[in-house]
Amino acid sequence: MAIKTLEDLLQEGVSGRGVLVRSDLNVPLDEQGAITDPGRIIASVPTLKALSDAGAKVVVTAHLGRPKGGPDPKFSLAPVAAALGEQLGRHVQLAGDVVGTDALARAEGLTDGDVLLLENIRFDTRETSKDDAERGKLAKALVELVGDDGAFVSDGFGVVHRKQASVYDVATLLPHYAGTLVAAEVKVLEQLTSSTDRPYAVVLGGSKVSDKLAVIESLAQRADSLLIGGGMCFTFLAAQGFSVGSSLLEESMVDTCRTLLDTYADVLHLPVDVVVADKFAADATAEVVAADRIPDDRMGLDIGPGTVQRFTTLLSNARTVFWNGPMGVFEFASFAAGTKGVAEAIIAATGKGGFSVVGGGDSAAAVRQLGLPDDGFSHISTGGGASLEYLEGKKLPGLEVLES
Ligand code: ADP
Ligand code: MG
């Protein structure tokens, strides 16, 4: 069965109805608690605005960070409520609790078009419980806030791969719909998996091979070329028999990487040179070396210029590109050139009529931080883990539950 969307709900009518929305408002904060990148708040606005404009009583639930074991003021959604109010152009109330007396009183007091944000859903440990009954109880409490004729809109794409109370269990209790963000993300991922224009190139970087090995394996079967950079390339270089100095290395993955290199020799491409450093720091001394000449006392923090050139050539005729994971430690200016160069190559290759998708929180941050044009890419995904699991062919609980 097809997934119902926000448009369907609006057609059914929401005026005066309670609508629970799961948004992804998990924005990065600095030490003072100020929001450093409001991307996810901005991406959540269309769904919330449409519901509010249509006269729904909107109850929003979301998480922030990883609070351990209960309420923690450091992870309060207060700054998010303020920023969301600004973006929406109307006041957003913040409940003092998740599903407690304050949330209930505020939910009961809502009038048509009002927006109430519940406090960080992860303050309630039942949200992420492995116990179905525990999660079910929290889901029921959430449903009570929107009443018997309520509805649920799933719009937090970044969490749809999680079987959590506010993502999965609530959808089993209420009529459910995909919000505009979830619908848009799914459409892009469908396009990447079903009707891919070729050549199809995949660029993977970031820090952990173990996280991304499954996606490498499944994408290597589908893509025409798969370019590997970032911290994960060193485990592959080690699998080729090169020493990698003090670079990131996942020993336990070396054999698996060797098998992948043997199996997909025509598809996988590794760096030919790397930028090494004497320490992991912004002011480290940077030096370019061949990929098979990494000194023992150096760590690779970026792909080298020769690799950027080679990757640019490999990308130049691509019609479809999926990119996840920075090519280097772009947070340090001396090690950002690889990420910037490859991003520019993707924009150049697919900018005119091709299809390019950036997935991953840090990759999206890199695009903004390095001053690359957002609109150089067809789509910048808000969810890293969720988009990778989708591309791996895994079933995402938060999407599956919307289908029934
Ligand atoms: P995304 O969030 O886009 O999925 P990841 O979270 O997998 O990406 O990885 C991002 C991180 O990888 C960045 O913080 C970056 O500094 C780091 N990284 C990239 N290359 C290296 C490297 N050579 N050594 C150590 N860390 C690296
Ligand atoms: Mg990340």
pLDDT tens-digit profile of 124-139?
999 999 999 999 999 9
Residue 131 lies in a domain: yes
**In percent, how much of the chain has pLDDT > 70?**
100
Quote the CA–CA distance of 279 and 376 in Å, as a whole number. 33
Question: What local confidence, expressed as pLDDT, does residue 296 receive?
Answer: 97
Percent of the chain topping pLDDT 90: 85
Tell me the mean pLDDT in the region 143-155.
96
**Following DSSP, what letter does each residue of 185-215 receive, concatenated?**
HHHHHHHHHTS--SSEEEEE-SS-HHHHHHH
pLDDT of amino acid 39: 86
Q: Please indicate if the annotation marks 352 as binding a ligand.
A: no
296 assigned to a ligand binding site: no
- Domain identity same for 86 and 235: no
pLDDT at 374 exceeding the cut of 80: no
Q: Is residue 60 domain-resident?
A: yes
> DSSP class of residue 303?
E
What average pLDDT score do residues 308-313 get?
98
Q: Is 63 annotated as ligand-binding?
A: yes
pLDDT band at 1 (very low <50, low <70, confident <90, very high): low
Q: Mean pLDDT, to the nearest integer, of 50-63?
A: 98
Does any ligand 1 atom lie closer than 6 A to the CB of residue 329? Answer: yes
Looking at the fold, whether 231 and 262 belong to one and the same domain comes out as: yes
Q: Do 141 and 231 belong together in one domain?
A: no
pLDDT at 147 over 70: yes
Within-domain flag for 339: yes
pLDDT of residue 270: 98
CA of 205 to the centre of ligand 1 (A): 7
**pLDDT band at residue 198 under the 50/70/90 scheme:** very high
Averaged pLDDT for residues 132-160: 97
Which residue has its alpha carbon closest to ligand 1 atom 25?
231
Lowest-pLDDT range of 291-295, 298-302, 304-308, 400-404: 400-404
Per-residue model confidence (pLDDT) at position 352: 81
Which helix (H) or strand (E) segment is 115 a member of? Answer: strand 115-117
Say what the pLDDT of residue 289 is. 98
68: tokens are: 């351990």
Domain residues for the domain of 274 are 188-392
What is the distance in A from the centroid of ligand 1 to the CA of 109?
45
Same domain (yes/no): 349, 277: yes
Q: Where among 180, 213, 240 does a domain terminate? A: 180
Q: How far apart are CA 376 and CA 353, in angstroms?
A: 11
> CB under 8 Å to 166, separation ≥6 — which residues?
22, 61, 63, 121, 127, 138, 139, 142
Give a yes or no: residue 397 inside a domain.
Answer: no
- Which atom of ligand 1 approaches the CA of 329 most closely? 16
Query: Is 110 a known ligand-binding residue?
Result: no
One-letter identity of residue 228: I
Domain end point (choices 137, 163, 180): 180
CATH code at position 287? 3.40.50.1260
Q: Is the CB of 207 under 6 A from ligand 1?
A: yes
**Would the pLDDT of 156 be above 90?**
yes
Residue 399 lies in a domain: no
Q: Are residues 380 and 241 in the same domain?
A: yes
Helices 361-369 and 384-391 pack at an angle, to 10 degrees, of 120
Longest dimension (CA), the chain: 68
Residue 78: the pLDDT is: 97
148 shares a domain with 266: no
Per-residue pLDDT band at 364 (split at 50, 70, 90): confident
162-178 tens-digit pLDDT: 999 999 999 999 999 99
Polymer length in residues for the chain: 404
Query: What is the atom index within ligand 1 of the atom nearest the CA of 229?
Result: 20
Q: Which of 123, 149, 180 is the last residue of a domain?
A: 180
Same domain, 140 and 58: yes
Residue 211 CA, closest ligand 1 atom number: 7
Bridge partner residues of 35 (DSSP): 29
Amino acid at 281: A
Q: Are 56 and 112 in contact (CB under 8 A)?
A: yes
What is the rounded average pLDDT of the residues 177-196? 92
Taking CA atoms only, the protein residue closest to ligand 1 atom 11 is: 206
Contacts of 91 (CB under 8 A, 6+ apart): 85, 115
Question: Which residue numbers are catalytic?
Answer: 40, 208, 361, 385
Torsion angle, alpha carbons of 232, 326, 33, 84, to 10: -130
Instruction: Indicate if ligand 1 lies below 6 Å from the C-beta of 26.
Output: no
Residue with the bigger pLDDT between 196 and 82: it is 82
Whether residue 279 is found in the same domain as residue 176? no
- Evaluate whether residue 401 is within a structural domain: no
Question: What pLDDT is stored for residue 393 in this prediction?
Answer: 87
Q: Could you count the other beta carbons within 10 Å of the beta carbon of residue 374?
A: 11
- pTM given for the model: 0.86
Q: Which of 88-92, 233-237, 348-352 has the lowest mean pLDDT?
A: 348-352
What b/e readout covers 153-174, taking b as 16+ CB neighbours within 10 angstroms?
Answer: bbbbbbbbbbbbbbbbbbbeeb
Look at residue 195 and tell me whether its pLDDT is greater than 80: no
Average pLDDT score over the chain: 95
Residue 28's pLDDT is 87
Q: How many CA atoms lie within 13 A of 64 on its CB side?
A: 27
118 and 195 housed in the same domain: no
Give a yes or no: residue 402 inside a domain.
no
Domain count, the chain: 2
Q: Is the pLDDT of residue 283 over 60?
A: yes
Confirm or reject: Cβ of 217 under 6 Å from ligand 1. Answer: no
Write down the residue that tokens 């028999």 correspond to.
Answer: 241
Are 217 and 176 within one domain?
no
Residue 403 covered by a domain? no
Q: Is 108 in the same domain as 222? A: no
Rounded distance from Cα 61 to ligand 1 centre (Å): 29
CA of 208 to the centre of ligand 1 (A): 8
13-48 residue pLDDT tens: 999 999 999 999 999 898 888 998 888 999 999 999
Average pLDDT over residues 62-69: 94
Question: Does residue 382 register a pLDDT over 90?
Answer: no
220 and 144 in a common domain: no
Residue 50 has pLDDT above 80, yes or no: yes
95: CB partners within 8 A, 6+ apart: 102, 103, 106, 107, 116, 117, 118, 119
